[in-house]
Structure 1
Amino acid sequence: MKKTIFIAIATLLTASSCTKEFDQMNVDPNNPTSLGPQFLLPYALETSIDRSWGGRTRFERLNLDGAMLWMQYLSRNIYSNEGDNYGLSPAFYNNNWKALFNDGLVNYQRIITLAGQGGKFQNTNYEGIALVMRSWTFSLLTDLYGPIPYTEALKGTTDAPIYSPAYDSMEKVYAGLLADLKTANEKLTVGGPAVSGDILYNGDILKWKKFANSLRLRLANRQATKKAAESKAIMAEILGDPTKYPVFTSNADNASLKCTTVLSSSNELFMVMVNDSRTDWNMSKTLVDRLTELGDARLTIYAQPNKDGKYLGHANGLPDAIATTYLGVSSNIGNYFIQQTAPEVLMTFAELNLILAEAAQDGDISGSAQTYLERGITASFDQYGLKVTDAYLKTVGAATKEKIMEQKWIALFGQGLEAWTEYRRTGLPVLPAKDPRAVFENDGILPTRLPYPGSEVSLNQANYEKALTLIGGKNDTQAKLWWAEK
């Protein structure tokens, strides 16, 4: 009898013990309930950078069917109504808004929460990297749309969740981004905690610091005519202490996504033009003609010769009946850009020097605008394995605002969104008169912003309507944004 009771008690104790640790015993290590930063980071990097560089989905290709056409790098030989004539599908501005917020920003914010003080995976280097990329993505969004949800954004899962975030002015967004980039530089610690999943810099924290400070210079320069004293102070702070605030010093520091031969992480231009066999684009006559006039060797990288061995482009905005006749005549984009492993670029040493050239020309920093201009040109040539000649530098001539911005336009080939922002900000370079055969929508006005998505009207209407008052009251593609100088 005693033996029977003992067995019963032992069985109950065993059952109680199993129940007490049930949640621990039944955790599947192959299906984690919360992801660490090393898993969130590569996904966020790839999805957000892919959006800016190419975008594979038709009617959503920010770069190919938007900025690369508007800045007259490329032209369409068919479907001119998909961007080349300034017409936009609602998917273009609806789905890119959604993707940049949901795939990019939400995940960068998760990393900041997880890696920050008191987080489950406390690590200042993950936190700093996510701050840099959150700032880059927010800068992309505000430069595309204008005022955006910023201060109250990304708070849907906080203790006091905000589901209808207010919009902030571009001035306020820029102030926040510039502050966050300074904080990121402080968080990033060379020799500090290790990171993995970094498909941009492979865990090189010094290069992340350089990107943070170079990006801060980009934004400070971009707002310089609106907030002159603050911008000068930021640039002086960074340039005055290269040890504390390192910046790009060569093309080895360029911020670019390392693409692979695995299709899911291949260069987006390869995916569209090679893997998907799309032949809708040729080179724009504007770019080809200008590089030919300058004797610019970058033309051999940016474009392929046509069947006759010549570099030719055709005008933007031509209706399909005319544009299709150029399919086998105009040059295609250069082979460099459609390789499977070609990098997707965020910022380069060449751009940094051309930013500094403009700042020096405007009197915002000390130093020679001519020296920075020539360094920028040299870096751009070097980026593609080319060597700039004294003859070319002589052809470009003395530094002026116009020449600096033209060289920035040339150097930003591939980075259509950045070139479009610089054009909207300065009105440079001066683009040629429209071809008389071209037919444009949008009253013939090159788009100045993207419309807010329809989801904001239905889900965040009161704040959406307040945002419109900051840009003239209309949700169109003609409003000038805050940093516009003219």
Structure 2
Amino acid sequence: MNKISYQYKALAVAALATLLGAGACTKNFEDYNTDPTGLTEDQLKPDFNFIGGFYPQIQSAIYYNYNNTVWEYQLQQNLIGDVYSGYMMSPNPFQGNVNNFTYALVDGWNGFPFSLAYNRVMAPIFEVKRRGAQTVAPDFWGVALILKVEAMHRVTDIYGPIPYSQYGQGGTTVGYDDQESIYKRFFKELDTAVTNLKTYMTEKPGATPFAKFDMIYGGDYRQWVKFANSLRLRLAMRIVEADPVTAKAEGEKALADEGGLLELNTDNVMVSGYGIKHPLYTITNKDGWSDISMNASMESYLVGYDDPRTGKFFDPASDYPGQYKGIRIGSNVTAKPGYSGFSTLAYKNTKTFADATPLQLMTAAEVFFLRAEAALRNWSNPGGTAQELYEKGISTSLSQWGVADRATEYINDATSTPADYTDPKNAGNNSPALSSITIRWDDAASFDVKLERIITQKWIAIFPEGQEAWSEFRRTGYPKLFPVVNNLSNGEISTSVQIRRINFPQAEYTANQAEVQKAIQLLGGPDNGGTRLWWDKP
């Protein structure tokens, strides 16, 4: 693992790609101390190149594929959140099946969400701050804060306590913050971001100085405000069991803000441009790595519901023509091509996953489901009843995936339930369905049944963003996911409760040991995958 440096070096080369009109981000700019163009920081100030050049890296390093280094995304998310969410499972028996999928956590994999976030997101944001963005370009700083919260909430939701408030104070050691403090800081940073952007739009209506650096919204600050409000709503709901007072206050603030929320699929937070490629295309396709396939839990829900998005998400199994077959987490996967003929992500038939597919961070469908839960919890201003918002979430997702014509039929299906799972290669992996939840809304149902219905459809709708799906599963217990077949955690992780977090990186024990020991105290339990995070209540 790379040592994390908590003090970022001053760089000018970040603006190079923008200045030269390059089609891809400059390689390894965090490793350089000088700009090979010979331009000074002052010479880069016109058109905000001196700070704007950092943003392509920041945006493309959240759902990590900066420089199209697919293997880093694979370790950051694909072999962690994408699998623990119930979305995917690998047909590759990495390390003889003694790996994350059997809860024998691999430190060489699990430090990447940490190191990539600090080196590729926090470091350039710190440099943007050092160059004076807070005062010379507060609108740019507002965008940086939104990206910072989006990136770092994913990191704290993997590990728990992380270095945050003291980041940038120098050296290779820094103190960790408890997760409650981090979340409260997130909300304050979103306050600043929204205020900065609204102020700029009032003072300079129609101006788009950020456009050439923006891989998401083309410089439209109205859209960034919607993203910030939607992100606030997501984070408010995340902490609803741990701090219901703050959750309700922050959620209602998001719902009431005149800047609005993500509501249309054109509002979706999708990262593209600068030559970035979607890592899942390489990881899943048989001409590439053939390292990721459908998870058995996805098969159970999609097949059981005859979900019209199934063929948009996955290709049928080549070993079982016309069928969709997933692999159960923790299976003793045999060497390729053993399970490689099970369903892959859709790259051949519908070609959903291709090099040019944008990277999805948040969708309008997710926000409708958040609003449905807000209505269920009697928060103010959700914009409709729980049923109306739930159904809008489904129809928005079906529209996103090009199957809107099935919306009425699907929403009114009161009989389909998740399917039993059968592994045609190993009957020992078979399992009956764990849930009998149907699709059609039932207003007479209990709170828990309504919540399961909302979260189950939300889980389907936010595919393939496995990190967020895993967090929501841990928060709510829904959808009900098949547990690991083989648990090699030596009792540290419960098979039935399932994995709750990832250990602190070994590199931190080496370089920042005293602070890691304090972080374990903040965590409130041993540094293993069975310890719950602050917001993760039984």
The Cα shift of 1:239 comes to 2.0
1:439 aligns with 2:486: yes
2:373, 2:69 → 1: CA distance?
Answer: 31
Q: What is residue 459 of structure 2 aligned with on the other side? A: 409
Post-superposition Cα deviations, 1:123-169, rounded to whole Å, max 9, x if no partner, equal: 1221111011111122111111101111111222xxxxx65322111
Q: What is residue 394 of structure 1 aligned with on the other side? A: 412
Q: 1:107 aligns with which of 124, 133, 136?
A: 124
Q: Taking structure 1 as the reference length, what is the TM-score of the superposition? A: 0.85
1:254 aligns with 2:268: yes
1:315 aligns with 2:328: yes
Letter of the 1:392 counterpart:
Y
Post-superposition Cα deviations, 1:254-303, rounded to whole Å, max 9, x if no partner, equal: 1111156x4xx211112334597111222122212211211210101111
1:170 aligns with 2:179: yes
Q: 2:298 aligns with which of 262, 287, 304?
A: 287
1:116 aligns with 2:133: yes
Matches within 5 A, 1:35-434: 36-50=50-64, 56-57=70-71, 61-79=75-93, 80-118=97-135, 122-156=136-170, 163-188=172-197, 189-190=200-201, 191=205, 192=207, 194-195=209-210, 196-242=212-258, 245-259=259-273, 262=275, 265-274=276-285, 277-307=288-318, 308-321=321-334, 324-328=337-341, 330-335=342-347, 336-366=351-381, 367-387=384-404, 388-395=406-413, 396-398=439-441, 400-432=450-482
Matches within 5 A, 1:448-459: 448-459=500-511
C-alpha contact (below 8 Å) 2:394/2:407 kept by paired residues: no
The Cα shift of 1:227 comes to 2.0
Work out which of the two has the higher radius of gyration on C-alpha atoms and give 1 or 2: 1
The Cα shift of 1:93 comes to 2.2
C-alpha contact (below 8 Å) 2:160/2:179 kept by paired residues: yes
Residues 60 and 476 from structure 1, CA distance in 2 versus in 1: closer, same or farther, beyond 3 angstroms? farther
C-alpha contact (below 8 Å) 2:284/2:344 kept by paired residues: no
The aligned length equals 442
C-alpha contact (below 8 Å) 2:525/2:531 kept by paired residues: no
1:154, 1:255 → 2: CA distance?
Answer: 28
Q: How well do the aligned residues superpose, as a CA RMSD in angstroms?
A: 2.5
1:320, 1:433 → 2: CA distance?
Answer: 15
1:271, 1:31 → 2: CA distance?
Answer: 37
Letter of the 2:308 counterpart:
A
Gaps of 5+ in 1: 1-26, 157-161
1:237, 1:111 → 2: CA distance?
Answer: 28
Q: Report which stretch shifted further, 30-39 or 69-78.
A: 30-39
1:146, 1:312 → 2: CA distance?
Answer: 34
Q: Taking structure 2 as the reference length, what is the TM-score of the superposition? A: 0.77
1:103, 1:232 → 2: CA distance?
Answer: 33
Give the structure with the larger helix fraction: 1
Residues 338 and 87 from structure 1, CA distance in 2 versus in 1: closer, same or farther, beyond 3 angstroms? farther
Q: What is residue 6 of structure 1 aligned with on the other side? A: none
1:267, 1:106 → 2: CA distance?
Answer: 23
Gaps of 5+ in 2: 1-33, 45-49, 414-438, 443-449
Q: What is residue 12 of structure 1 aligned with on the other side? A: none
C-alpha contact (below 8 Å) 2:64/2:76 kept by paired residues: no
Letter of the 2:194 counterpart:
N
Residues 275 and 447 from structure 1, CA distance in 2 versus in 1: closer, same or farther, beyond 3 angstroms? same
1:297, 1:210 → 2: CA distance?
Answer: 29
1:332, 1:172 → 2: CA distance?
Answer: 40
